[in-house]
Structure 1
């Protein structure tokens, strides 16, 4: 399915696709600036994209991106994904030839402990998003970060279609992209945040160890949504990576 997207920036610049974290929208990249043509999109049931009840898998979310690239007649692109967006990027880079350079931010190829996802899905199924919102947002940002920005992201989280969120959460719980890592030939930068509880730096180190061509960076004063807390630092890393493409 083709959901909501925006394509902005210089017409003659390379296209950089930006994949969002679970529970976030294209607003994730609000303070983000790079000299590329930026393709932002919302996952199923997020932001302005239509709801799609699960179950579905990471490859289904990746198929949405492929359909969008075909719709826009984009053969090869750069791709940067945060958390769920990074998981989608790994699948695309391993199973297609569409990704020429890749950035994986605050993400993982596999969650060994499924209990958090089982518990989250259970609460969502019976009580909705409100009981989980504070705990989810507390993992996105460091305690010292702007309360106003955190409140804005919390509000957007509460607008996400719950069945679609459950579908995405189930896809994350059930995924195992570890066998795909060796297939990724695209030069890759892996970015972790030192205070990320959702995808700790050790997850990023495991990715970097398994990828054939990768660099690893750990950003200090940031949590899971490091691109929001440290946009300038992230922009420098990505500009160096994609600018060398």
Structure 2
């Protein structure tokens, strides 16, 4: 499985992988890349079915998405990396910390769905809608969950969502519909920073806050006056947290 990725920063620096939200590609990390690249070799990638990555026919599983990242590390001959993921990317990060612990140095999981299988029908319904009508059918509703009304700089993000392949988006919805990461949280050994947004309607903070007591040694940050795509809307708050945890 070939994942598209973009590398920034010194080639001999510690590696940080950036895993994006459902419906997004690596360009969503524009507010973080230059800051992180001053200290790290930053690899921002597109999940399968997203951006310029390959789009195999679905459904996918969270294991598929996680193994894609392991394969990317193998291809780049990287033994270990830190990982920062938001939303779907955060779920992939938790899976990696559980199932490929030797490959993950530090983990930042931002607004991660930890048990989306609990609302499986929501995900399978959305997959069916996007396969039938494309991502334009869910674009406005998605932006309404990603950002608070006062954040208006959403044009690039909306276009990114519209450009997302319908099959890739739908198949990743199906991956979420079968994902429950809760049972193995206790086995995570990497240092973990959990970030949730106070007004996140997609992955409500009450589903993220309890994870901090289930992951050994995890640190929790709650971002006030923010919705789901907090990395894009609040980089002034998020970037210092990332630098402090990844150092």
In the comparison of the two structures, how many residue pairs are matched? Answer: 241
Does residue 193 of the first structure (1) align with residue 197 of the second (2)?
yes
State the 1:43 CA deviation. Answer: 1.0
1:237 is matched with 241
State the 1:163 CA deviation. Answer: 1.1
State the 1:225 CA deviation. Answer: 0.5
1:45 to 24, 46, 49: 49
1:137 is matched with 143
* Alpha-carbon displacement from aligned partner over 1:110-164 (angstroms, at most 9, x marks no partner): 0222232132122123222222111011111111002xx3122111111111111
1:125/1:12 CA distance change after superposition, 3 Å: closer
Measure, in 1, the Cα distance between the counterparts of 2:16 and 2:131. Answer: 35
Q: How does 1:136-175 map to 2 (within 5 A)?
A: 136-146=142-152, 149-175=153-179
Does residue 95 of the first structure (1) align with residue 99 of the second (2)?
yes
2:90 is matched with 86
Measure, in 2, the Cα distance between the counterparts of 1:208 and 1:124. Answer: 33
1:176 to 168, 176, 180: 180
RMSD: 1.2
The 3-state SS of whatever aligns with 2:48 is coil
Measure, in 1, the Cα distance between the counterparts of 2:136 and 2:82. Answer: 35
TM-score, with length taken from structure 2? 0.94
Measure, in 2, the Cα distance between the counterparts of 1:118 and 1:17. Answer: 28
Does residue 109 of the first structure (1) align with residue 114 of the second (2)?
yes
8 Å CA contact retained: 1:19, 1:85:
yes
8 Å CA contact retained: 1:80, 1:103:
yes
**More moved, 97-106 vs 5-14:** 5-14
